């Protein structure tokens, strides 16, 4: 398999500067001094992160780099919900703790000028968007930036205040109607409408991305989607993160690795019916 041409990954012990609840359900903001990773990371890239003072789990967990502090560019931010052993341990980190980071990994989003940049997030899928919003403002100043942020209920709407502080227009959707539009984020997108020149970026659970692909139809090729595949190594060694994609004219499709060729894919390339929603071959849930 051909390897993408990227700078070598870095293994760095990030020092925890602060860890605090995000104010939304089970969500933690972790700021780390990690000069070498912070200097190289681009929006949509991720790190494999593991709290070193704990023996278990010994494999890092993939987390998007949510932001780099413009006032101190050696400091990066991770934002995550605690769903299992790995993320629960990371949520226990205290100032001064060392977190092993391997990264920056993956391809990241491609930014090009557009009339409007629309960021579509399901739940914690919003994590890569503050850094993305910052880069869009830098590379396409003056363009409209909108984030459609969806969750089951209002406590699952993470990072809305941070995105607003970056000048992003945030429109929320909740299934139970507890905040914003009542319905899912794809229905919210339908209500928002799109300019012909809109550029779309999406991140969230597979079911949301598959529904978005159905909604966009042929135009889903122009939407960049960051996939949350299960990962064990993060750099192409274990095949835990295989997904099925197809290029125009290709029947059946072929396999690519979400950690190497992704995690960002043209949404229209992903064959959801042939991509296992949860690949646990190399790292079962609750595993190492």
Ligand X SMILES: Cc1cc2nc3c(=O)[nH]c(=O)nc-3n(C[C@H](O)[C@H](O)[C@H](O)COP(=O)(O)OP(=O)(O)OC[C@H]3O[C@@H](n4cnc5c(N)ncnc54)[C@H](O)[C@@H]3O)c2cc1C
Distance, CA of 25 to CA of 63 (rounded, Å): 17
Chain residues 18-37 in contact with ligand FES, contact rule CB under 6 A: none
Q: Residue 3 has which token pair?
A: 């390897």
Helical axes 206-216 vs 185-192, angle rounded to 10°:
30
Q: Is 46 in the site for ligand X (CB under 6 A)?
A: yes
278 binds, among ligand FES, ligand X, none (CB under 5 to 8 A by kind): ligand X
Length of the chain equals 288
Are 66 and 81 within 8 A, CB to CB? Answer: no
Q: Report the alpha-carbon distance of residue 122 to residue 152 in Å, rounded.
A: 9
What residues between 86 and 125 interact with ligand X by CB under 6 A?
A: 86-87, 124
Under the binding rule (CB under 6 A), the answer on residue 1 touching ligand X is no
CB of 2 to ligand X, least distance (A): 20
The answer to whether residue 120 forms part of the interface with ligand FES (CB under 6 A) is no
With binding defined as CB under 6 A, does residue 278 bind ligand X? yes
CA distance to 67, 231, 241, 267, per residue, from 227 (Å)? 18, 11, 10, 9
Residue 47 found at the interface with ligand FES (CB under 6 A): no
Task: Rank residues 89 and 188 by Cβ distance to ligand X and give the closer one.
Answer: 89
- The residue (of 93 and 105) whose beta carbon lies closer to ligand FES is 105
In the complex, the smallest distance separating the C-beta of residue 232 from ligand FES, rounded to whole angstroms, is 5
Say how far apart CA 46 and CA 263 lie, in whole Å: 9
20 DSSP β-pair partners: 29
Name the segment binding ligand X (CB under 6 A); options: 81-89, 134-142, 178-186, 215-223.
81-89
Give the three-state DSSP class for 170: strand
> Using CB under 6 A as the criterion, what x/- string covers residues 209-238 for binding ligand FES?
----------------------xxxx-xxx
Could you say whether residue 17 binds ligand FES (CB under 6 A)? Answer: no
């Amino acid at each position: 398999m051909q390897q993408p041409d990227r700078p070598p990954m870095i293994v760095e012990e990030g020092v925890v500067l602060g860890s605090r609840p995000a104010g939304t359900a089970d969500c933690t903001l972790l700021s780390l001094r990690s000069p070498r990773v912070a200097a190289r990371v681009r929006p949509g890239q991720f790190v494999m992160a593991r709290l070193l003072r704990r023996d278990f789990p010994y494999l890092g967990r993939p987390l998007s780099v949510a932001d780099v502090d413009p006032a101190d560019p050696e400091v990066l931010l991770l934002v995550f919900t605690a769903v299992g052993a790995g993320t629960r341990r990371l949520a226990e980190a205290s100032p001064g703790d060392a977190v092993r980071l391997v990264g920056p990994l993956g391809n990241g989003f491609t930014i090009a000028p557009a009339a409007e940049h629309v960021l579509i997030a399901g739940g914690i899928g919003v994590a890569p968007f503050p850094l993305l919003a910052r880069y869009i403002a830098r590379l396409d100043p003056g363009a409209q930036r909108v984030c459609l942020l969806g969750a089951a209920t209002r406590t699952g709407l993470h990072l809305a205040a941070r995105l607003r502080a970056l000048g992003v227009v945030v429109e929320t959707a909740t299934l139970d109607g507890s905040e914003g539009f009542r319905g899912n984020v794809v229905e919210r997108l339908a209500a928002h409408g799109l300019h012909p020149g809109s550029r779309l970026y999406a991140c969230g659970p597979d079911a949301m991305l598959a529904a978005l692909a159905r909604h966009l139809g042929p135009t889903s090729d122009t939407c960049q989607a960051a996939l949350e595949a299960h990962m064990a190594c993060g750099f192409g060694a274990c095949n835990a993160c295989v997904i099925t994609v197809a290029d125009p004219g290709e029947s059946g499709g072929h396999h690519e690795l979400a950690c190497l060729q992704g995690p960002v894919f043209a949404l229209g390339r992903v064959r959801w019916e042939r991509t296992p929603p949860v690949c646990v071959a190399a790292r079962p849930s609750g595993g190492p």
